[in-house]
Amino acid sequence: VISFFQPKLLLGQQVLVTAGPTYEAIDPVRGITNLSSGKMGFAIARAAHEAGAAVTLVAGPVHLPTPRGVHRVNVTSAQNMLAAAVDYAQKATIFVATAAVADWRPALAAEQKIKKDGSGVVPTLSFVENPDILATLAQSLRAQSGDLFCVGFAAESQDLLANAQAKRLRKGVPLLVGNIGPATFGQDDNALLLVQASGVQELARESKINLARKLIAHISIKTRARGQ
Ligand code: CTP
Ligand code: CA
């Protein structure tokens, strides 16, 4: 009902959202993941659709219903997520990276289930770093030429402002959104810190869908100012 009255702030825009955790296989029956619920990313996808955008939601393994009108692409690993994101970013005008991408994956996933051999010896896992999806797309030609507006998220356990400012510069994005603690994983509300070159703005604690709508309104102003 609310969406009926909302102005279509993102009409003509193509929005790409990554959401949820990734799952990095150790063997065919085990893997490494994290507690991301995907709720913030799904709320942003929903809000972007309400605002008139064509929305693709690249989702890691989460049990959430697909927001109405949103094109959902399910992925598992960070490498899968990167491939899907790079694909859809060719046409996207806005990219919002909310996914909690696993920073590392097992260097070699075993082809068969790893078995106990009875000796009590434990397996050793070695890791390699996963690709940085946000940094990759932020460095793309379309982002650099202003055709793709990239937004990052950050959940920090300490020094949110300083870490978010540093992360914004490191990722090379115009807008980095910090989750204001305590840890928001799985909860239905959140509070956000919008960090840009021009300064910092806080969105006070409320439901993730309302925050998502405010963030979308903010992004629509930024992308219009940029001349789209
Ligand atoms: N991100 C990504 N690909 C990765 C890691 C992170 O796209 N391999 C994106 C996240 O979706 C988020 C932003 O980058 O939008 C910041 O993620 P975060 O985990 O906070 O940053 P990292 O660079 O991984 O640094 P660290 O976890 O060490 O704080
Ligand atoms: Ca990380």
Among this protein's residues, is 34 annotated catalytic?
A: yes
Annotated ligand binding at 131? The verdict is yes
* CA dihedral of 70, 209, 163, 82, whole degrees rounded to 10: -10
User: What is the best residue among 129, 133, 134, 169 to mutate for testing ligand 1's pocket, by most ligand atoms within 8 Å of CB?
Assistant: 134
Q: What integer pLDDT is reported at residue 4 of this predicted model?
A: 60
Q: Give the residue among 199, 205, 201, 162 at the shortest CA–CA distance from 181.
A: 205
The number of the ligand nearest the C-alpha atom of 135 reads 1
Written as one string, the DSSP assignment of 125-170 is --EEEPP-HHHHHHTSHHHHTTSSEEEEEEE-SS-HHHHHHHHHHH
Tell me how far apart the alpha carbons of residues 176 and 197 are, in angstroms, rounded to a whole number. 10
Is the bond preceding residue 7 a cis peptide, omega within 30 degrees?
no
Tell me how far apart the alpha carbons of residues 66 and 73 are, in angstroms, rounded to a whole number. 10
User: What is the best residue among 133, 168, 170 to mutate for testing ligand 1's pocket, by most ligand atoms within 8 Å of CB?
Assistant: 133
Tell me how far apart the alpha carbons of residues 31 and 111 are, in angstroms, rounded to a whole number. 13
Cβ of 78 less than 6 Å from ligand 1: yes
The number of the ligand nearest the C-alpha atom of 22 reads 1
- Both tokens of 103, joined, read 């920073």
Annotated ligand binding at 27? The verdict is no
ipTM for the assembly: 0.99
Strands 24-27 and 30-32: antiparallel
Tell me how far apart the alpha carbons of residues 169 and 146 are, in angstroms, rounded to a whole number. 16
- Residue 1 Cα, ligand 1 centroid: separation in angstroms? 35
Cβ of 104 less than 6 Å from ligand 1: no
pLDDT tens sequence across 7-63: 799 999 999 999 999 999 999 999 999 999 999 999 999 999 999 999 999 999 999
Strands 54-59 and 71-74: parallel
pLDDT tens sequence across 95-128: 999 999 999 999 999 999 999 999 999 999 999 9
